[in-house]
Amino acid sequence: MSKSGKIKALLALKDKKNMDYANILNLARPQALTTKYSRESFTSNDLIKLAELTNTRLAFIDENSKPVVVFDKEDLE
């Protein structure tokens, strides 16, 4: 599954709309999110904001399923 597909799947699982995500990314035009999807041009900040929106965590997980590094809103630039 593509990065964009995973993002859309997470939004759907958490009952969030594309507009919710566009708003949290401060995108004024809905087409801007469509462009991000088509180019798969999501930054780490975009993904941290996605995690905040969906009440999930963005993390690097080791082979034992233990979070090694977890990103949150304090990591936003």
Q: Note the pLDDT tens digit of each residue in 40-68.
A: 999 999 999 999 999 999 999 999 999 99
Average the pLDDT over 3-25 and give the result. Answer: 97
The per-residue DSSP string of the chain comes to: --HHHHHHHHHHHTT--HHHHHHHTT-SSHHHHHHHHHHT---HHHHHHHHHHTT--EEEE-TTS-EEEEE-GGG--
Average the pLDDT over 16-44 and give the result. Answer: 94
Whether residue 36 contacts residue 13, with contact meaning beta carbons closer than 8 Å, is answered with: no
Is it the case that residue 18 has pLDDT exceeding 80? yes
- What pTM was estimated for this model as a whole? 0.91
Is it the case that residue 23 has pLDDT exceeding 90? yes
List the domain boundaries for the chain: 3-75
Structure confidence at residue 35 (pLDDT): 95
